[in-house]
């Protein structure tokens, strides 16, 4: 029987780092040096992983499905790019500005997800992203419109490390931000607050019956996820030196949803693993078949859904499952 004193121990155990996690992050942080010729794609993987992690906070831990998560990604990208161009080019201050603006936008939009059904939330979140994209298009005197915001030049990171064309500084920068926000997100979902989010995800009515303030919890989770998505967008604008309407488009939200389908929801490493697989497949297949690489990714997703993630990773379980079904049928 689980006692009240054992619950904090369970939460502490969930937040405790394992040896393989330390090895994993050590390899990730040294990858721009070990794989210097692939630093640019490492940077892209880190940004997509952070974006997927932000979506997993609301999808995997609260059950809120969003098709407009790119709104916060784009807000962070444009805020950081405009700050660097008009105010000061310091990357860390620009990152903080991108996170702050996306967080404020998330707090405002969190009101829209507290009412209605799941279908209503899908439409509302999608609508927010489309509205922001149209605003960025119309305000061309500020955002550059359809041509994008060009001429964004970032200063050296920490006043010492210049952003090089090879992308090594950008990769280390994005990976470090990913690690810091991963640690914070891990503490967030592993806290008593995170336990209430899981209760809401499992049964919202029961959570309300035991006194959990569901609306406030959902609003806070949505706001935190928006801030993390804004950080990913800011990293993209800073490391590429460019922000365009593409950051608001629907395919951004769809792609990050596919990343979580590949990696799994409800555990923070799902976004990291999914981003790694998705970006490597995209890079590999687009080099082989530039016109039809989306077909092969779509086929992979169909097989993943039909076969199952665990059985696809461990094919020896196929025979055990078939034998079990055969035995059960005979019985």
pTM of the model: 0.85
Quick: pLDDT tens for 184-203.
999 888 888 888 888 888 88
pLDDT of 228 > 90? The answer is: yes
Confidence of residue 175 (pLDDT cuts 50, 70, 90): very high
Domain ranges of the chain: 17-250
Average pLDDT over residues 175-183: 93
CA distance 176 to 17: 17
Residue 146 CB partners (closer than 8 Å, separation 6+): 137, 140, 245
Q: Strand, coil or helix: what is 162?
A: coil
Mean pLDDT of the chain: 81
* Concatenated DSSP letters of 173-197: HHHHHHHHHHHHHHHHHTSHHHHHH
Greater pLDDT, 125 or 223? 223
Confidence of residue 101 (pLDDT cuts 50, 70, 90): very high
CA distance 236 to 52: 14
**If you search the block for the tokens 């915001």, which residue do you land on?**
149
Confidence of residue 271 (pLDDT cuts 50, 70, 90): confident
């Amino acid at each position: 029987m689980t006692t009240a004193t054992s619950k904090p121990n369970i939460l502490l155990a969930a937040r405790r780092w394992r040896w393989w996690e330390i090895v994993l992050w050590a390899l990730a942080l040294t990858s721009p040096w070990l794989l210097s010729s692939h630093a640019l794609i490492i940077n892209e993987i880190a940004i997509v992983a952070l974006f997927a992690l932000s979506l997993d906070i609301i999808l995997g831990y609260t059950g809120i499905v969003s098709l407009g998560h790119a709104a916060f990604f784009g807000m962070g990208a444009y805020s950081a790019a405009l700050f660097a161009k008009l105010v000061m080019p310091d990357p860390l201050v620009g990152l903080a500005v991108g996170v702050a603006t996306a967080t404020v936008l998330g707090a405002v939009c969190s009101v829209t997800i507290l009412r209605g059904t799941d279908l209503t939330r899908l439409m509302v979140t999608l609508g927010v992203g489309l509205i922001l994209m149209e605003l960025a298009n119309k305000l061309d005197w500020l955002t550059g419109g359809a041509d994008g915001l060009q001429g964004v030049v970032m200063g050296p990171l920490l006043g010492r490390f210049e952003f090089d064309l090879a992308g090594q500084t950008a990769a280390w920068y994005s990976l470090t931000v990913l690690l810091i926000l991963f640690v914070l997100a891990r503490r967030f979902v592993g806290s008593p607050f995170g336990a209430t989010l899981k209760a809401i995800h499992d049964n919202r009515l029961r959570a309300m019956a035991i006194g959990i303030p569901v609306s406030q919890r959902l609003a806070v989770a949505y706001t935190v996820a928006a801030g993390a998505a804004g950080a990913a967008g800011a990293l993209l604008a800073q490391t590429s030196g460019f922000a365009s309407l593409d950051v608001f488009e629907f395919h951004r939200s769809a792609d990050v949803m596919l990343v979580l389908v590949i990696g799994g929801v409800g555990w923070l490493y799902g976004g990291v693993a999914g981003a790694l697989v998705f970006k490597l497949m995209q890079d590999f297949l687009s080099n082989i078949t530039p016109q039809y690489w989306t077909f092969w990714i779509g086929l992979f997703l169909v097989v993943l859904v039909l076969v199952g993630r665990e059985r696809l990773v461990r094919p020896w379980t196929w025979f055990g499952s078939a034998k079990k079904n055969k035995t059960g049928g005979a019985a």
